[in-house]
Amino acid sequence: MKMLELKPHEIVNLARLGFIEEIITSGILWTCATCLKCKERCPQAVAPVDLIFALRNLAVEKEAKVPESFLHSLSAILETGFIQKPQNTVTRKLEKVNREKLGLPRFRESDEKFKAAFFKVLEKSQEE
Amino acid sequence: MKVAVYWGCVIPTIQYGYEMSVRAVMPRLGIELIDLDNVSCCGTPVQSVNMLAALYLAARNLATAEKTGLSDLLLPCNGCYLSLSEAKHFLSHDEKLKEEINSLLKEENLRYEGSIKIWHTINLLHDLIKEEKIREAVKNPLNCLKLAVHYGCHILRPSTLQTVDDPENPRKMDELIEWMGAKSMSYPEKLDCCGYMLLLSHPDAAFTFAGLKLKAVQDWGADALVVSCPSCQMMFDMRQKSAGATIGAKLGIPVLYCTQLLGIAMGIETEKLGLHLNRSALDEFLRKASLISTAASP
């Protein structure tokens, strides 16, 4: 069993004190499950999760400690438009199945024009 | 009534039971689903890396849906629902941002207007199709079942957006279940998160989230846990064994989609609802509801 020590109000106050470098190199940002309860329930309407996401973006920009899995999705999207291609799976009786076998329509990947356009967006956002 | 449908990434690449059951129940309730061409990821997985790119992806899918001329869009995935409703919110409150996104979309001759109305499976069933039609469609009332519902975080919060239900006291899924004849139980862990977003970076923590909730639902005596999000289903159903192992508990709680349950109540064959794909202990559950007779023989 493992519980994480994330306390949204701590991150907010560390940021207010200017410890940005410390937060983005500590890895704590990546322990948020994005349940959004901090945003919903904060009596001061602070929305710590919004700050966590902004700091994650900053961590990526500064090439600080970022779990690789977050970067993988981006390269998959550039390749097919989605985070993954349709996977084979098994039934409870361990019979192998896929979309076709299940009678589902063909999966439509994004076209080449999308990939080029999305690449441009990424380039542009890095310039800013 | 024609409704555009955007499946996102997780449903059409691995959570086939959700897609199958949505495709099976909706036409029988008067909803003709129109699949979209050339859509892409909703942006959620990119939010941590690059907010602008995430917003672009969300707006691009909305613009693609608007191009059909239809006025309603179904988003069966909670993550996609949050991402697209967030984009709608940002772009309707910031004209400059909207023009910036539209200048990027021009590359593919797309334009985001903000005209299409978005629905999740739960409020589409509850608020658009409504009680009378659902009760009418139920051929096999699930009277003997006591069920726990799990809404999933991203259709309930934050209430600054157009959420599917009340963030602290959601009732729509409970009512849907009651319209099917079953009992929806009240339990303290109802709003707890499944942990999915931590799965790749902190699997032990993710499985602890899922395991503790599953154990609570099991200990309160529910016959099954009913979900409406493909990520939650991945945690509670597909990864139930890992969740149990992580918290040191033996788990055997059936988990199924709300639309799979509705399909059972409507008398649709279990294989058409993808119920053979759920990994959790569903066989006994289907027997208990004396439904095994409608399942295809092995």
Give pLDDT tens digits for A111-120: 999 999 999 9
Q: For chains A and B, what is the number of CB pairs under 8 angstroms?
A: 181
Contact A57 B35 (CB under 8 A): no
Fill in the DSSP letter of residue B125.
Answer: I
Structure token digits, residue B84: 């697209």
Distances (CA, A) of B288 to A28, B146, B224, B283, B293: 45, 11, 11, 9, 11
Least confident of A37-46, B272-281, B284-293: B284-293
Number of structural domains (chain B) is 2
Q: Are residues B217 and B99 in the same domain?
A: no
User: Which residue range forms the structural domain that includes residue A40?
Assistant: 1-66
Q: Are residues A84 and A123 in the same domain?
A: yes
CATH number at residue B32: 1.20.1050.140
A6 and A62 fall within a common domain = yes
Q: Are B33 and B166 in the same domain?
A: no
Listed residue (B173, B195, B196) closest to B186, CA to CA: B173
Residue to mutate among A5, A37, A119, with most B CBs inside 10 A, is A37
State the helix-helix crossing angle for B172-179 and B130-137, rounded to 10 degrees. Answer: 40
Provide the pLDDT for residue B75: 98
> B57: which chain A residues are within 8 Å (Cβ-Cβ)?
77, 118
Per cent of chain B over pLDDT 90 is 94
A83: closest CA among B93, B77, B106?
B77
pLDDT tens for residues B52-70? 999 999 999 999 999 999 9
Q: Do A39 and B157 touch (CB under 8 A)?
A: yes
Chain A partners of B200 at a C-beta cutoff of 8 Å?
67, 69-70
Choose among B108, B168, B248: nearest Cβ to A113. Answer: B108
Which distant-in-sequence residues (6+ apart) come within 8 Å of B91 by Cβ? B55, B59, B97, B98, B101, B112, B114
Do B155 and B287 belong together in one domain?
A: yes
Say if residue B110 is in the same domain as residue B157: no
Same domain, A97 and A62: no
| Model confidence band, residue B298 (pLDDT cutoffs 50, 70, 90) | very low
Confidence of residue A55 (pLDDT cuts 50, 70, 90): very high
- Number of domains present in the structure of chain A: 2
Q: Are B92 and B177 in a shared domain? A: no
Kindly provide the residue ranges of all beta strands, DSSP E only, lying in chain B, ordered along the sequence: 2-5, 32-35, 72-74, 117-119, 146-150, 183-184, 224-227, 255-257
Q: Is residue B127 one of the residues assigned to a domain?
A: no
Q: Do A62 and A72 have their domain in common?
A: no
Tokens linked to B88: 């709608």
Position B130 in a domain? no
Same domain, A23 and A80: no
Q: What is the pLDDT of residue A4?
A: 76
Please compute the mean of the pLDDT values over residues B260-266 and round it to a whole number. 96
Does B198 sit within 8 Å of A31, measured CB to CB? yes
Q: What is the mean pLDDT of chain B?
A: 95
A60 and A92 belong to one structural domain: no
For the record, the structure tokens of B126 come out as 């509850």
In a domain, B7, yes or no: yes
Tell me the whole-structure pTM to 2 decimals. 0.96
Q: DSSP state, B194?
A: -
First to last CA, chain A: 42
- Could you tell me if residue B265 is inside a domain? yes
**Rounded Cα gap, residues B210 and B218, in angstroms:** 12
**Residue B236's domain spans which residues?**
139-294
The verdict on B25 and B111 lying in the same domain is yes
Measured between CA atoms, how close is A34 to chain B, in angstroms?
A: 7
Asked whether residue A60 falls in the same domain as residue A74, the answer is no
Is this complex's ipTM strictly greater than 0.85? Answer: yes
Residue B295's pLDDT is 44
Residue B83 sits in the same domain as residue B146: no
Residue B286 domain-assigned (yes or no) = yes
Query: Is pLDDT above 50 for B175?
Result: yes
- What pLDDT is attached to residue B290? 64
Most B CBs within 10 Å, among A5, A26, A73, to test the B interface: A73
